[in-house]
Structure 1
Amino acid sequence: MIEGMQNFEWATADDVPVRELFPGIRLRTLWSGEVASAHVLEMDPGSRWEGIDVHQPGPEEVCVVSGVFNDGIRDYPAGSFIHAPAGSSHVPQSVDGCTLFLFYPEG
């Protein structure tokens, strides 16, 4: 074993609890540190965030794993990376459904 590997933390999306945020929108927390956290967000076809998602207290980093994500203005196909700075906002939605990897470096 490589020195330091024993300190790794890991999870698979299928093995962590799922929380339904809104109808058709589910969040799975993969890891949560003192401040930062990492998640998988699954959006069913036709799902839409209720209200406006405001990024506070810090930024949101998004990688579209599959499907097409829409932030209320434009579409982002699989493989897209989005940096949403602190204080920015959007209305997450997906016509065809999508899976996102979310990282919050500052909470």
Structure 2
Amino acid sequence: MQSLDHATRTELEAAAFRRLLRHLDAHKEVQNIELMNLADFCRNCLAKWLVAEAEERGDALDYDAAREYVYGMPYSEWKAHYQQKATPEQLAAFEARQAQQQG
């Protein structure tokens, strides 16, 4: 990657990000809590990162607009159709991970 010019590298990174979003969209059955437990990020994190990067560059990006981009639909719609209630095991794993990170 270091041999690529900045513009090409940026285009490849952007394309990989769009591919990640398509992959997540194709796997709506994968719940955010599962992503958090396994990889320490979720779809909401991606939206927050977009907002943070926009702010860092002096651009305004609304969090709800960023989530709609990541989810491919308004978050409330995605949540109503695809989000499942977290299991006790998922919640316990999430809480343990949070405690580990803080401790």
TM-score by length of 2: 0.25
Question: Greater share of strand residues, 1 or 2?
Answer: 1
More helix by share: 2
Higher relative contact order (CA 8 A, sep 6+): 1
